[in-house]
Structure 1
Amino acid sequence: MLWVAVGLTFVAILVVAGALVYAFAPGEFPIADRLSRLWQPLAAQRKVSFRERQTQKAAQVLSDVGKLLPSSKDLSATKLMLVRAGYRRPEAIMALRGAKVLLPIVFAIIVYVSGLTNSNNGVFVWILALVAGFLLPDMWLSRRVRKRQTILRKALPDALDLLVVCIEAGLGLDQAFMRVSQELRITHPELCGELDLVNAQIRVGRTRIESMRELASRTGVDDIKALVAMLIQTDRFGTSVSQSLRVHADDMRMKRRQRAEEAAAKTPVKMVPPLVFFIFPALFVVILGPAIITIFRQFIGMHQ
């Protein structure tokens, strides 16, 4: 019976570790992904990969579980977080709710099979497993939102430079958005998707100001909010769009350079924990180990 429990615990830990790696690991290398998009035909680009198919199946299962729960009244904040993470499908909210139901059950089974609940802190382990399973989907969603916002923030300066070129070449603002979306579709697909959505909303009859404000709310990126505010003021007061965009693009480039300098300045601080906990102990063992062994042998010889 003990060997069965040990085996089930090993399998459960392996499954959880594989799921975490599958969820958080990047799909492909960026260079290989860009080359594949450049050289593959359009039909090959639209083929759904094996990983995407499995993800869709898992999302469908979680969505079915979430639909069994009673509906909640206030889900606007969760829907906004899902949209900012890039999940606009209606069943995304149900999949998240289903994950909050299934993960506590999975974690409870793991701690029960592993025998951790048989100790004196069994109640604490139960509570910890349930709380971790319930909070893990929200933590994952927050991480996805931050990652996507970082991608949009890095793509914005390039889009602004191209937008200035299009405006100065004689295109209108809506046509410039469409042209930027076409040109940057390979390098910055996330930002192009947002611009396509803005153009689609304008084509169906929504005003440009409403679409831009929804873009700022949908992304939650401060740089995009500043761009939207600048475009709304330009449209309202009739100032030059190209000149305003050029000044704003210069400001975005300066901010990107400052962020790079800030990240470079943080590098030595981030290197301290690996050095202290992994590299320095190994160095101490290699350098001081022989000396300690020699001193210990001499000390034993003196007492013999």
Structure 2
Amino acid sequence: MGLLLMLAGIGALTGAAVLAVRALAPGRVSRVEPGRLEAVERVYGAGGAGSGPPAEPFADRVLRPLAGRFGRLARRLTPAGMVTRMNRSLTYAGNPPKWPVERVMQMKGLGLLGGALLGLLYGSGLGGALVAVAAAMGAAGFFLPDLLVYNLGVRRQQEITRTLPDILDMLTVSVEAGLGFDAAVAQVRANAEGPMAGEFARVLREMQLGKPRADALRAMSDRTTVTELRGFASAVVQAGELGIPIANVLREQAREMRLRRRQRAEEAAQKVPIKILFPLLFCLFPALFVIIIGPGALRIAELLGT
């Protein structure tokens, strides 16, 4: 019975993995050259039994609808508040084009199924704890996509925090050179890379579509959790409303950002001795004790034995 359950679990896990890869992969591009197809039609004719509409790929006919069902199942199991938090997490992560909400929901459903099957596979010899193990593994697979999206968002926000002072320096230099704020943002976007440049590019697109600058900057601050970026957006908006020269505001913001970055670096440096304490205690010191005390301990043991 245990062997049959193990084989069934392995088969189900393999099928779930294939289903996930095939359902979430982009559609295949046909590699048939147009000239070869025309040559075949000239030889065999365009009519005949094979002239009907081509059949859809197996992934489009079976796997994608099945993945959609898993996504709908995951959406029904997910509370509305968690869906809202998922949308916010995707926004903080930059809304990756390959990870829309529907695809994340599909992965949650597949993770639930795969985790439950994995729990059944490894918990087959635990007797009464089988259901608990399967439920725990299913829950872990269900919440794994949330953790991945959250970590992606955290890394992106950290990158914004790290590059924001340099971006503001470039923006300040461009404005002091005589460019307007919009032109300076476009110049920074053309010469910078990373998530902060992407946010400026989105601000430019929104302003080109007719959105006021203040609204575009407020929307940018809402898409991040970086306090410095929110303060920068608020300062620029207030400068525009009060008629304050934007160059002075940018210069002060850039100086403050550099100061905060230096303070964060000093704080991180002060934490290094505490972080290195545990590796020293549990890794380095035991080896040193063995090297230093070991020969003496062996000698004492030999003397006592004799």
TM-score, normalization by structure 2: 0.72
- The change in CA–CA distance for 1:268 and 1:124 in structure 2 (over 3 A counts) is farther
In structure 2, distance between residues paired with 1:137 and 1:208? 35
Residue of structure 1 aligned with 2:156, choices 138, 148, 167: 148
Unmatched runs of 5 consecutive residues or more in structure 1: 17-52
1:169 and 2:177 correspond: yes
Residue 90 of structure 1: how far off its partner (Å): 8.6
Match of 1:248 among 238, 247, 253: 253
Match of 1:233 in 2: 238
Tell me the matched-pair count.
255
Sort the Cα spacing of 1:119 and 1:211 in 2 relative to 1 into closer, same or farther, 3 A: same
How far did residue 124 of structure 1 move?
Answer: 4.1
Match of 1:217 among 213, 222, 240: 222
Give % identity.
30
- Distance in 1 (CA, whole Å) between partners of 2:22 and 2:272 is 37
Q: 1:54 to 1:112 in 2, by over 3 A?
A: closer
Q: 1:275 aligns with which of 277, 280, 287?
A: 280
Contact 2:67 2:106 in 1 (8 A): yes
Backbone CA RMSD of aligned residues: 3.4
Matched residue type, 1:57: A
Distance verdict in 2 for CA 1:73–1:153, change over 3 Å: same
8 A contact 1:159–1:184 mirrored in 2: yes
Give the direction of change, closer, same or farther, for the CA distance of 1:138–1:176 in structure 2 (3 Å limit).
Answer: same
| 1:184 aligned onto 2:152 | no
- Is 2:217–2:233's contact at 8 Å kept on the other side of the alignment? yes
For residues 147 and 91 of structure 1, the distance between their equivalents in structure 2, rounded to whole angstroms, comes to 16
| Alignment correspondent of 1:92 | 100
Shift of 1:73: 5.1
Distance in 1, matches of 2:289 and 2:135, equals 40
What amino acid sits opposite 1:250 in the alignment?
A: R
CA 1:123–1:115: 2 relative to 1, 3 Å: closer
Q: Where in structure 2 are there 5+ consecutive unaligned residues?
A: 27-62
Residue identity matched to 2:103: A
The residue number in structure 1 matching 2:140 is 132
After superposition, the Cα gap between the structure-2 partners of 1:169 and 1:66, relative to the gap in structure 1 and judged at 3 Å, is: farther
Change (3 A) 1:94 1:262: same
Q: Which amino acid aligns with 1:159?
A: I
Contact 1:156–1:191, Cα closer than 8 Å, also in 2: yes
SS of match in other structure, 2:25: helix
Q: If you compute each CA radius of gyration, which structure gives the higher value, 1 or 2? A: 2
Q: Distance in 2 between matches of 1:148 and 1:55?
A: 27
Deviations 1:225-272 (A, max 9, x none): 000000011011000100111011100000000011111111111112
Deviations 1:87-118 (A, max 9, x none): 25496112222222222332333333234651
Aligned partners of 1:55, 1:244: CA distance in 2, in Å?
50
Shift of 1:277: 2.8
1:197-232 residue CA offsets vs partner (Å, 9 max, x unmatched): 100000011111111011001122111100000001
The whole-number CA distance in structure 2 between the counterparts of 1:268 and 1:297 is: 40
Moved more, 270-279 or 140-149: 270-279
Offset at residue 81 of structure 1 (A)? 1.0
Contact 1:117 1:125 in 2 (8 A): no
The Cα offsets for residues 132-164 of structure 1, whole Å up to 9 and x where unpaired, read as: 222322222221111100101111111111111
CA distance in 1, matches of 2:293, 2:128: 41
Match of 2:72 in 1: 68
The equivalent residue for 1:80 is 88
Q: 1:57 aligns with which of 13, 19, 25?
A: 25
Q: 2:72, 2:105 within 8 Å by CA — same for their partners in 1?
A: no
Mark the CA change 1:284 to 1:261 in structure 2 (over 3 Å): closer, same or farther: same
Give distance in 1, aligned partners of 2:243 and 2:267.
Answer: 37
Is the CA contact (8 Å cut-off) linking 1:174 and 1:199 kept in structure 2?
yes
